[in-house]
Amino acid sequence: MSRSVGDGMAELRGRLAAAGIDSAARDARQIMAAALRVPADRVSLMQTDPLPAEAADRLAGLAARRCAREPMAHILGLRAFYEHDFRVTADVLDPRPETEVLVGAALGAPFSQVLDLGTGTGCILLSLLAARTQATGVGTDISEAALEVARRNAQELGLAARCRFLRADWFDGVSGRFDLIVSNPPYIAAWEMERLAPELRFEPRLALTDEGDGLGAYRAIAAGAAAHLSPGGRLLLETGWTQGPAVSDILRAEGFCALRILSDLDGRDRVVCAVRPAGEA
């Protein structure tokens, strides 16, 4: 007797839960949808349908990857972020809901030219450009493989004409001034890496840690940002949830003003906002 989709779902949920995955029910639905090659909202309507052999084979492979704690975004190749889906590979940081706080804050004031440092998938830059149809932007990353992912996302979202991507170590090779600079830099301290969730083993280490105290990227950005910001321009940085005060101090020491710390939906410090004084030349 062949298995039904419902049978396969029940078995898959159990395997994922046994692997320690808290989101077993949600992940099982998405994996089954990928195996069946149907939208996720169709799976609940197919519970009594037979599970085709070819779909069962795909399901086994996808389930094994998730049980090994490979991130769902890598398995599916996509991650929903803000208002769009972004291509994701092992070469980029998996976009996270917390980063949407930064996008929302950036959209809270006008801008025409934006610089995204350490762009990864391009999710921050491209979300901003999609929402501000007259704006243009530049995304930088030290990884050429990451930049290729960002370029593909720009193409698929129809935004390639309004942005360019540069291989750069922070501001190296970046010219001109911007009225908005944003970044989600590596902020995990080296000593914290061993304690991270298993899924983070699959993400690029250079996007997670500065191999130091977790504040190295902020020091570099703070030191170079003023030279690339227009007077009155804004700087928005995502931080680890304990780093808001330290990052604020770093920016204050470099002359930035109007410092604010924004919280994510869990009430944790997540984004530091600063302004370059308008009177500076």
Q: What is the pLDDT of residues 116-140, one digit of tens each?
A: 999 999 999 999 999 999 999 999 9
Question: Is the pLDDT at 97 greater than 90, yes or no?
Answer: yes
Give the span between the Cα atoms of 127 and 137, in whole angstroms.
11
Confidence of residue 281 (pLDDT cuts 50, 70, 90): low
Lowest mean pLDDT among 53-57, 137-141, 221-225, 277-281: 277-281
Q: Whole-angstrom distance between the N-terminal and C-terminal Cα of the chain? A: 77
Beta strands in 9-127 (DSSP E): 78-81, 84-87, 113-117
**Six-digit token pair at 166?**
């540069």
Write the pLDDT tens digit of every residue in 226-275: 999 999 999 999 999 999 999 999 999 999 999 999 999 999 999 999 99
Q: Are 139 and 119 in contact (CB under 8 A)?
A: yes
Q: CB-based burial of residue 228 (10 Å sphere; 0-12 exposed, 13-18 middle, 19+ buried)?
A: buried
pLDDT of 93: 95
Question: Is the pLDDT at 208 greater than 70, yes or no?
Answer: yes
Write the pLDDT tens digit of every residue in 9-24: 999 999 999 999 999 9
- The dihedral sign for the CA sequence 209, 194, 30, 22: negative
Of 92, 65, 84, the closest CA to residue 76 belongs to 65
**Six-digit token pair at 33?**
């949808």
Give the span between the Cα atoms of 3 and 9, in whole angstroms.
10
Q: Write down the pTM of the prediction.
A: 0.93
- The dihedral sign for the CA sequence 5, 11, 16, 20: positive
The DSSP code sequence of 138-198 is EEEES-HHHHHHHHHHHHHTT-GGGEEEEE-STTTT--S-EEEEEE----B-GGGGGGS-G
Give the span between the Cα atoms of 150 and 146, in whole angstroms.
6
**Six-digit token pair at 84?**
């769009």
Write the pLDDT tens digit of every residue in 151-202: 999 999 999 999 999 999 999 999 999 999 999 999 999 999 999 999 999 9
Question: Is the pLDDT at 59 greater than 80, yes or no?
Answer: yes
pLDDT of 278: 81
Q: Are 242 and 269 in contact (CB under 8 A)?
A: yes
- Provide the percentage of residues in the chain whose pLDDT is more than 90: 96
pLDDT of 3: 87
Write the pLDDT tens digit of every residue in 26-50: 999 999 999 999 999 999 999 999 9
Pairing of strands 113-117, 84-87: unpaired
CATH number of 78-275: 3.40.50.150
